[in-house]
Amino acid sequence: MIIGGGLTIWFIWRTIKKSEDPGRIVYKWIISFVLIAFLIFFAASGMGPSFAFAGPITAAIVGVILGILWAPHIGAVMAKPFTAFYDGGDEEPEARPFYSIARAKIKRGKYEEAIAEVRKQLDRFSEDYEGWMLLADIYAENLKDNNSAQECLAEILRHEGHAPRNIVYTLNRSADWHLHHNADRESARAALEEIIQRFPGSEHAHFASQRIAHLTTDQMLVEQRSRPTLHLERRDEYIGLQGKVADPRAEAQPPAARAARLVEHLTIHPHDVEAREELATIYAQHYRRMDLATDQLDQLISSAGASQKEISRWLNMLVDFHVNIDQNRDAARAALERIMQLFPGGAVAGLAQSRLAYLEGEFRKNNKSQVIKLGSYEDNVGLKGQSPRRGD
């Protein structure tokens, strides 16, 4: 009886708690208990022959009244397994911040009101990434307040549990705003270096190192704030009459000077992919030093964080050098086989296998044409009405 009473009390409490109108459920339970108590009392007191006739009728009337009271709830319980597919059943909806009001105010230019709306949401969801980034974006892009924007980004970096891609995006935006608003290369570099420190050896660190190697120069940062003076060189007005073609492009730097500049640059930024690729091309095409070109590409292939697509491109680049420069079939074949060994079953391995099947055709296409020595014929043979015959 104690267990039954406890389960009954728990069931009643659960129905009241989960109801959309608890007061109405309490009212129904009170009526139900009154009716059941009346039925029990009537059954206990009816000991005469009339009870056999009045008892079932009384029980039926009480049953009808209880049915009217609880039929909607019983029907809802029976339909619940089916309706749960559409409305989620009893699962509580996830509490989430909403920034639609703030975005609407941004579009109308009401930036201070938008900030207030975002902060209302952040008061409830203090570590919401979307909210802090939206707040930083308003400060940086709309109000041109880099200091406040950087404070918002710093708040994000203090939180735990953000996805790596979100952290990387935050630090890249920090670098962008340092360069755009304050022309501060050192702060931008520090933000990018933090990516390398947080995710060493990853693809994120790889791309951060590339960006560091190509940071905007001090001269370009100065030109962002003050338009530079353009000095136009006076050209010959009659160059077209002299049979010359005007070429406004700067004279190309000699390969030796370009190689020296790239070597010096790579001493400072050894992970610069673009510079190392250009140096490998100069070694192969200008100096025909396949050993030096191969060494540069091997350094790229073994670099930490290099993606599958990049490694495949560098090995195919090495194949191009072997086909066009030294005609080394074995080395070209080995480079393609290396792709298949590194990424078995991948898309790049399939492309490498396809190229390997047609590699000999590439070599034949790039072979130098044989020199064909033609015989000498009389210059005016056409004027004589004669056509040259084979063997003449």
The string of DSSP codes covering 186-211 is HHHHHHHHHHHHHSTTSHHHHHHHHH
Question: How far is C-alpha 359 from the chain's CA centre?
Answer: 36
As its CATH architecture, domain 100-218 has Alpha Horseshoe (1.25)
Q: Give residue for tokens 């549990």.
A: 161
- Residue 7 to residue 44: CA distance in whole angstroms: 25
CB of 188 within 8 A of CB of 151?
A: no
- Residue 36 to residue 330: CA distance in whole angstroms: 96
The string of DSSP codes covering 220-231 is HHHHHHSPPPP-
- Residue 144 to residue 113: CA distance in whole angstroms: 16
Token pair for residue 231? Answer: 């000095």
Residue 381 per-residue DSSP state? G
pTM: 0.62
- Residue 131 to residue 120: CA distance in whole angstroms: 10
Closest by alpha carbon to 136, among 149, 125, 123?
149
CATH number of 256-366: 1.25.40.10
- Residue 292 to residue 92: CA distance in whole angstroms: 64
- Residue 114 to residue 107: CA distance in whole angstroms: 10
Triad 178, 145, 197: Cα angle to 5°: 35
Closest by alpha carbon to 359, among 378, 341, 337?
337
Token pair for residue 261? Answer: 């500049």
Which residues lie below 8 Å from residue 138, measured CB to CB, with a gap of 6+? 106, 111, 114, 115, 118
CA dist 192 → 176, 198, 372 (Å): 10, 10, 60
Token pair for residue 296? Answer: 């540069």
User: What tens-digit pLDDT sequence spans the chain (392 residues)?
Assistant: 788 767 777 777 777 777 667 777 777 778 877 777 777 776 666 555 665 666 677 777 877 787 777 777 677 767 766 665 555 555 565 778 999 999 999 999 999 999 999 999 999 999 999 999 999 999 999 999 999 999 999 999 999 989 999 999 999 999 999 999 988 889 999 999 999 999 998 999 999 999 998 887 655 555 555 565 666 666 666 656 666 555 555 567 888 999 999 999 999 889 899 999 999 999 999 999 999 999 999 999 998 888 999 999 999 999 999 999 999 999 999 999 999 999 998 899 999 999 999 999 999 888 754 344 445 444 443 443 444 444 44
Hey, what amino acid is at 255? P
